[in-house]
Amino acid sequence: MSLVRAALPSVPLVNRLPGVRKAPADGFTGLRRSRPPVTIEREHVERYAAVCGFPAKDTVPMTYPHLLAFGLHLEILGDQAFPAPAIGTVHVENSITAYRPIAVGETLAVEVEVGAALPHPKGTAYAFEATARSGDETVWESTSTYLRRGASTGSPAEGVDLPEAAPHGLTWRLPADLGRRYAAVSGDHNPIHLHPLTARALGFPRPIAHGMWSLARCVAAIENRLPGAVRVDAAFKKPIPLPGTVEYGVIRLDDGHAFSLSRPRDGAPHLLGRSTEM
């Protein structure tokens, strides 16, 4: 229901109705949402791990807490006070910091906050800051940057440096139902990921993979090389059509790894990322 509500401001005429119409961007200072503490269940973690390529363990994949925060993202995107409609607002960057491994069965309280709009050369950006706490201890944080395309509002603040990691022969074939499989475990049922008809209705010739699935799959490939305290940064460059094929690349850095997903025919990047030891 949250996704439906978040999508209504993108529907012509409906988006003018009271209770749906978005507030003007001018004057928006931010919103915050939180959820009651939730206990991480093994069955759900294992389903997520299977879809994203992680091994089954007694600790959760470092990308997993994003699922606990995603419903709060939707609540904010669907709020009338948030200026941009959810449909057409694109996830372009993500940074995750894990301060320690999180155990299956641990109970976490999660909060998400977004501030005022940020300048961007392709429109307007919003940084959604998520925090997961175990008691009084902050164990995980993330920043998800969403872009609303439009007139340039200036150059973005300098971000993390993402070195290139050329493919080295590892190819992944992604099935047509990957978007539906990830949606079933993540709760992200954006229609651009689900079926050809719903994707075409929103301007995509085929469904596309979730950005957070592509990041999780890259992290899973180096999971056994990551320390317990680590930061991962990623930029989503080009959509990955489904079904499709991608090439994975990874190189060792002094303080972590650089990784990438690329289009096989011309090497164009779908994703660039890096891990940094803490």
pLDDT at 121: 85
pLDDT at 160: 61
pLDDT at 150: 81
pLDDT at 256: 96
The pTM score is 0.90
**Nearby residues of 74 by Cβ (< 8 Å), 6 or more positions away:** 2, 3, 6, 86
pLDDT at 66: 98
**Nearby residues of 11 by Cβ (< 8 Å), 6 or more positions away:** none
pLDDT at 168: 86
pLDDT at 13: 37
Domains of the chain (ranges; CATH) run 1-159 (3.10.129.10), 161-278 (3.10.129.10)
Instruction: Point out the residues of the chain with pLDDT beneath 50.
Output: 1, 8, 11-20
Distance (Å, whole) CA 131 – CA 156: 23
pLDDT at 21: 56
